[in-house]
Structure 1
Amino acid sequence: MYNRKSAGPSKELAYKVTSLASDGYSPHQHQQYTKYLQQLRNEFIERWCKTTKPAIVFSELDRVRTLGTGAFGRVLLLKHSRSSKFYAMKVLEKEKIIKLKQVEHTLYEKRILEAIRFPFTVSMEFSFKDNSYIYFIMPFVTGGEMFTHLRRMGKFDEPLGKFYASQVILALEYLHFCNLVYRDLKPENILIDKNGYLKITDFGFCKVLQGRTWTLCGTPEYLAPELILSKGYGFSVDWWSFGVLLYEMNAGYPPFYANEPMKTYEKIVAAKYRCPSSFSSDLRDLVRNVLQVDITKRYGVMKNGVLDYKNHKWFKGIEWESILNCRSPPPFVPPYKNTSDTSNFERYDEEPINPAAYCRFSTEFEDF
C-alpha cells in the first residue's frame, strides 16, 4: 500500500499521439501511450495519499429513488438541493460488511474510487458515514447497466461488441498500470453513459496488487481457472474475465454455465465451451487466445501485453486514441429524456435508511 503524503490537485485528462500508424498499433504509439499512463499512475498515487473533505453537506442530498440492490446495501438516486445535480449513492450497511468480513474490501473500494480517474471508470465525488452506514457518492450514469441492454437486445452485433470491448481493454490497461486488479468484470458492473460510452463500476473486489494474491472472489461464471484452483494469481484473472465478457456480449450468454457453481468451475478449468456459428473467424480467434487456461498463452499476460489486443485482426479499424477521447460515434446510445431519467434502471421497492442512535462498529470503520 502506498505511503501517505500531501499532494496537489490532479491534471485534466488529455492524450494525443503525434503520429498514427497506417496499420495496427505502432511501437511509437505504444511508447507515447505508456508515458501517458505513467502520468495517470502518478496522479493516482497522489490522490491515494491525499485526504480530502466533502465539498457538499450530506443533508443537502435528497433521496429520489432506488437504482439497484446488492449484498451490502443499495444504490440510490439523489438530487443536490442547491445545485440540482443528480448523483448515485451507494449505501453500505456496517453490520452486513462485518458479518461478511468485507471491511478491508470496503476500505479498498473507498480509497480506489477516490483515486482513479479514467474515461471508462466511475470515480467517487464524496463519501460520508454515520452511526450505521457508509455512503459513496458518485456521478449518476443515465444509461443503466450493460446487462440490461444486453438482455433487451439478446446479444450485441460485433461492431457494438467491438466498441465496448475496446473501452474495457483500455480501462483494464489503466487499472493494471496503477497496480489494481479488478476481479469482478461482468455486464452488471458496467454502466453506459448518456453518450453511449462505458463506465466500469463496483470496485468492491478491486485491490492494490504487488505480486500475487489468493483470495477467492468474483462471480462464478467469470472466475479464472487459476483463481478457482487456488494457485495464486495476478492481473491474468481480469483478462480471463474479459474473455468471458467478450463472449457473452456477442453470444448473449456466458461460455461457461451450469446449474451448480461446482459444475461451472469444472467447465472453466477444462476451458470447455463452444463458439456460436454467428461468431466471425476473427472473433473466434480472439476468444480462443483470451480463454486460455495456460496464462503464459493468454492475451494480455504475454510479452506484448495489451498490444496483442490492439493489433488483433478483430480490432482492425478501431482508432484507439479516438476511443480514449470518446470521439468515435457510438453504435448505440441509450434513450433518456433528461439528466434525472431512470427508465434504464429496474424498479425496486423503497426501504427506509434509519441510522442507529449510537455509533456502531466505530473501531472497525475508524479509517473511513
Structure 2
Amino acid sequence: MGTLRDLQFALQLKIEELRQRDTLIDELELELDTKDELIRRLQEELDRYRTTVSLPGASAVSAGRQHTQAFDTAFTVFNNPSLCINFISFFHVLRSQRLIRAAFLKNDLLKNLDEGEIRAIIACMYSTTINQGCFVIQEGTTGAQAYVLEEGTLEMMKDGLKLLTIEPEDLFGELSLLYNCTHTYSVSARTNSKLWVVDRKSYQTVLMQSGLKHLSHSVELLTIICLPQMHYSDGDYIIRQGATGDTFYIISNGQVRFSALCSLHRSSEAFRGKDLQEDIRAVSVIAAGEVTCLVIDRDEKHHNAVLFSHTEDTEYQLTPFFLVSSSGVDPTLLSTSALSDFQIICALGVGEFGHVDLVQLKSKNKCPFAMRVLKKKLIVSSGQQEHIQREGCILMETHCSFIVRLYKTFKDAEHLYILTEACLGGDLSHLLKDKGYLDECSTRFYTACVVKALSFLHCRGVIYRDVKPEHVVLDQHGYAKLVLQLGSRCLKRVEVGKKTWTFCGTLGYMAPEIISNKGHNIAADLWSLGVFVFELLSGRLPFGGSDPLKILTSTIRGIDQVDFTKTINKSASSLIKKLCRSNPSERLGSQRNGARDIQKHKWFEGFNWDGLCERTLTAPVIPKVRQNTILATCPGCTLPLAFSDDGWNLTFTKALLAVSMLLRCV
C-alpha cells in the first residue's frame, strides 16, 4: 500500500510539474508573439524611413549601419523588463481598440462611421469595471453614455424579463449618444466585467469636427461657389470618349484613370473640355475606386443660379397674399391693435410653454385668430429664450400663402402673446386617420402646397426640420399650410454652404445625416418630404415602429430597403426615392434648380402650379366649419377640439370629446 501511495504522490508531482511547464510555455509564447510584433513594427518603421528619407551620397555601409542600429534597439527592448512591460501594456490597449472598433462595425446605427471618426471616438473613451450584480443601466432612467463590453457577461432585462445576454464585443446604449432618451431596459453584470464608455458630448464633438473638416476642405476647393457633387463607383465612366463635353470636373475625393493615358488624377485635381466650351472628349475618364467630383456646367449662369436663383424667383409675387389677411382683416387694423382689443372665444389646447385660445377682434366678430399664450417663467427655466427670439424673427418675416401667418406679438409681465392665423380645417393627420390613406390627386395637391412652403423657407436659408402631416393644416378653402410653431426648436437659419448639427425632428421623418450627426442643411427637409408623400399614399411610415432604435437603424439603411405598397405607383415611387437619397447632395431639389426639379418630376406632370399659387384650383377637401361651431386643432398634441362660439352650447358627445382631449393635453 505504501508503494502505491508513493507512486500516486510521485505522479501528482509530475502532473504539477507538467502544468507549470505548460504555463511557462504559454508565457514564453506570449513573450515571443510580443517580440515578433515589436520586430514587425520596427521593420515597418525602418521601411518607412527608407522610403521617405533620402540621404544624398549615402553609402551601402551607412544604410547597413542604420539597419543594425534598428535591431540593436529591438534587442535592447527585449533585455529591458520595464520596456517589455510597457510594450505589453501597449499591446493590450491595441487589442482593446480593435475590439471597440469591431463593436462599432457590428452596430447598425454606428457602422457607417468612417475610420477617422471611429479612431477619434475611441481616443475619447475610458474604461471602467462593474462588479457582479451591479447595474450599468437602470430601466426608466436617462443617460448620456454608450458602452462596449470587453470582459465578462451582462444581462439586459425589461419589466423583470430577460431580453438577451451581452457578451464581449457587444455595444449597447447607443441611443443616448443621439439624444436624452429614457432607457426602456436595465443592464446588470452577471460576472465581474470591464467596459469601455463614451459620452454623448464627446461623440457629437468628434462628428461635428469631422463634418467641419470635410466642409473646410470643400471650401478650400471653392471658397465662393457652392457646386453640386457627383458620386461614382469603381469602374464608372465619368467621361466617355467621343461624347460632347460641356462640364468641368473637380475631383473632391478619390482617383480616376484615363483610358488613353497612364497617369492618375487625384483628389483636388481637375479635368475638363477646352475652356469650358463644348468639346468632343478625346479620352475616357474612369473612376478608380470610389470617386466624388464637384461639377461646373458650361453655362456660366450656373454660378449665380447656385447662390441667387431662389432670390430671383418671382413665383411668390404672382399673388400678393397677406396684403389682406385670409380672415379679411386689414393688416393696418392689426398693426394698431392692442391686446385689450381681442376677446377670447374659447380655449383650443395646452402646449409646452402655455396654452392656445381662439380669439377675435371686438370690432369684427367673425374674424377668428389663434392666440398662443406663453409663460415667461417656463421659457426662462428651460433656457429657450434664444430659440424663441430666433424663431420669432423668422416667423415675422414669413409672408407666404402656404405657411400659417404670424400677425403680431404682445407681452405683459408674465406672458408672451403670439397672434397667428386660425386654420380651422384640422391637420392632415386626422384626414389620413379617417381615410386610411389618400388618393393620388389629393396627395399631389397637399404635397405641392408643402413644396411651395419649403421652397419659400429654403430661399431664405431657413430649415424646417419637422415636416409631417401633423404640421400641415387646412384653411377654410381646403388649402394646406405649414405650421411654424414658436418654441419648436426646429426652425433655424443656415447660411449657404454651411451646416448645423442639432439633433431635432421626429423619429421616422428625420433625415439620416441628422441621426448620424454628420451635419445637415435644407436637404434634410427634402428627405422628410419624401417620407411625407409615402405616408399620405400608404397610410404608414416607411421607417415606422415602436422601437426607436429600429426606426433609427432602418432610416440609416435607407429607402431602398423599404417595401412600397400597391397604392404607390411607379412615378410616385420614383419621386419618393429621389427625395430620400442617402446622400443629401443627390436629393431631388437640392441641386441648382432647387424646387423646380421637384415640380418638373413626372409625378407632377399636368399639375397646374400657377393655379395653385393663384388659388384657383379646387382643393380635394373643403372643410365644413359652421359659424356657430369651430373645429380646431390643439397645437400641443394635434388632436381635434370642438367648441361652440359661446364655449358652452355643446352636445353631450362633443363635451366629452373636448374634456378628454384637454386631459390628454395636460
In the aligned structure 2, how far is the partner of 1:254 from the partner of 1:283?
Answer: 15
2:329 paired with 1:57: no
- More divergent stretch after superposition (119-128 vs 54-63): 54-63
- Secondary structure class of the residue paired with 1:342: strand
Amino acid at match of 1:230: N
Cα distance between partner residues in 2 of 1:118 and 1:300: 19
Aligned to 1:82: 363
CA separation in 1, counterparts of 2:317 and 2:441? 31
1:193 positional shift:
0.6
Q: Please list the CA deviations of residues 80-118 of structure 1 after superposition, one character each: whole Å capped at 9, or x if unmatched.
A: 222212110122222332343322221122222211111
Residue 281 of structure 1 deviates from its aligned partner by 0.9
Moved more, 109-118 or 338-347: 338-347
1:155/1:252 contact within 8 Å kept: yes
Q: How many angstroms does 1:67 deviate by?
A: 2.3
2:507 to 214, 220, 226: 220
Q: 1:300 aligns with which of 589, 594, 614?
A: 589
State the SS of the aligned residue for 1:86. Answer: strand
The residue that corresponds to 1:291 in the other structure is 580
* Residue identity in the other structure for 1:235: I
**SS at the partner of 1:255?**
coil
For 1:169-208, what aligned pairs fall within 5 Å after superposition? 169-203=451-485, 204=488, 205-208=490-493
Secondary structure of the 1:176 match is helix
Instruction: Report the Cα distance in structure 1 between the residues aligned to 2:623 and 2:415, rounded to whole angstroms.
Output: 32
Opposite residue 36 of structure 1, the aligned amino acid is: T
Q: Is the 8 A contact 1:142 1:340 kept in 2?
A: no
Q: Which amino acid aligns with 1:134?
A: L
Deviation at 1:228, TM superposition (A): 0.9
Which structure has more relative contact order (CA 8 Å, sep 6+)? It is 1
**Preserved contact between residue 142 and residue 339 of structure 1 (Cα < 8 Å):** no
Correspondences of 1:252-291 after superposition (within 5 Å): 252-271=539-558, 272-291=561-580
Equivalent residue in structure 2 for 1:312, among 590, 601, 624 = 601
CA contact (8 A) 1:216 1:227 kept: yes
Q: Establish whether residue 72 from structure 1 lines up as the match of residue 350 from structure 2.
A: no
Question: By how many angstroms is 1:75 displaced?
Answer: 2.1
Q: TM-score, normalised by structure 1?
A: 0.78
Give the AA of the match of 1:222: Y
- Which one has the bigger helix percentage? 2
Q: Which amino acid aligns with 1:61?
A: F
Alpha-carbon RMSD? 2.7
**Which of 518, 525, 544 is the matching residue for 1:231?**
518
User: Aligned-pair distance for 1:263?
Assistant: 2.1
Higher strand residue share? 2
Question: How far off is 1:274 after superposition?
Answer: 1.9
1:96/1:254 CA distance change after superposition, 3 Å:
farther
One-letter amino acid of the counterpart of residue 316, structure 1: E
Quote how far apart the aligned CAs of 1:33 are: 9.4
**Counterpart amino acid of 2:476?**
K
- Residues 248-270 of structure 1 show CA distances to partners (whole Å, capped at 9, x for unaligned) of 11111211112132221111111
Look up the SS of the partner of 2:346 in the other structure. strand
Q: In the TM superposition, what is the alpha-carbon distance from 1:54 to its structure 2 partner?
A: 4.4
Instruction: For residue 466 of structure 2, give the secondary structure of its aligned residue in structure 1.
Output: coil
- Paired residue type of 2:355: R
Distance in structure 2 (CA, Å) of the matches to 1:337 and 1:188? 23
Q: Work out the CA distance in 2 between the residues paired with 1:331 and 1:258.
A: 30
Which one-letter code corresponds to 1:276 in the other structure?
T
Paired AA for residue 289 in structure 1? K
Alignment of 1:116-155 (within 5 A): 116-155=398-437
Structure 1 unpaired stretches of 5+: 1-30, 41-52, 351-368
2:494 aligned with 1:209, yes or no? yes
Which residue is 2:121 aligned to?
Answer: none
**For residues 148-199 of structure 1, what are the alpha-carbon distances to aligned partners after superposition, in whole Å with 9 as ceiling and x for unaligned?**
2111111111100000111111111111111111111111111101111011
Instruction: Give ranges in structure 2 of 5+ residues lacking alignment.
Output: 1-308, 319-333, 634-639, 642-657
- Distance in 1 of aligned mates of 2:442 and 2:456: 22
The answer to whether the Cα contact below 8 Å between 2:372 and 2:419 also exists between their aligned partners in 1 is yes
- What is the rounded CA distance, in whole Å, between the counterparts of 2:511 and 2:469 in structure 1? 16
- Does the CA contact (< 8 Å) of 1:115 and 1:123 recur in 2? no
From 418, 435, 448, the equivalent of 1:166 is: 448
Shift in Å, 1:340: 6.0
- Give the aligned residue type for 1:126: K
The equivalent of 2:617 in structure 1 is 328
Q: CA deviation at 1:237?
A: 0.8
Structure 2 residue identity aligned to 1:224: A
Q: 1:303 to 1:124 in 2, by over 3 A?
A: closer
d(CA) in 1 for partners of 2:556 and 2:472?
A: 25
- The Cα offsets for residues 37-75 of structure 1, whole Å up to 9 and x where unpaired, read as 6979xxxxxxxxxxxx94212123222223233322332
Q: Bigger shift: 333-342 or 169-178?
A: 333-342
Of 416, 420, 439, which aligns to 1:157?
A: 439
C-alpha distance after superposition, 1:315-367 (max 9, x if no partner): 111111111111111121112113862267323439xxxxxxxxxxxxxxxxx
1 CA distance for matches of 2:514 and 2:474?
A: 29
Q: Give secondary structure in 2 for the equivalent of 1:349.
A: helix
Cα distance in structure 2, aligned partners of 1:220 and 1:129: 34
Which secondary structure state, in structure 1, belongs to the residue aligned with residue 532 of structure 2? helix
